Amino acid sequence: MTTHPEGPLPDKGRREEILARIKKLSELPLVIVSFVLIPLLEGPLLMFAGIALFGALTANLASFFVRADHPRKAADALLLQEIAGLRREVAALRESRS
Q: What pLDDT shows up at residue 65?
A: 81
Ranges of the chain whose pLDDT falls below 70:
1-10, 68-71
Domain boundaries, the chain: 8-67, 69-98
| Whole-prediction pTM | 0.38
How far apart are the C-alpha atoms of 86 and 68, rounded to whole Å? Answer: 28
How far apart are the C-alpha atoms of 91 and 88, rounded to whole Å? Answer: 5
Q: What pLDDT shows up at residue 50?
A: 94
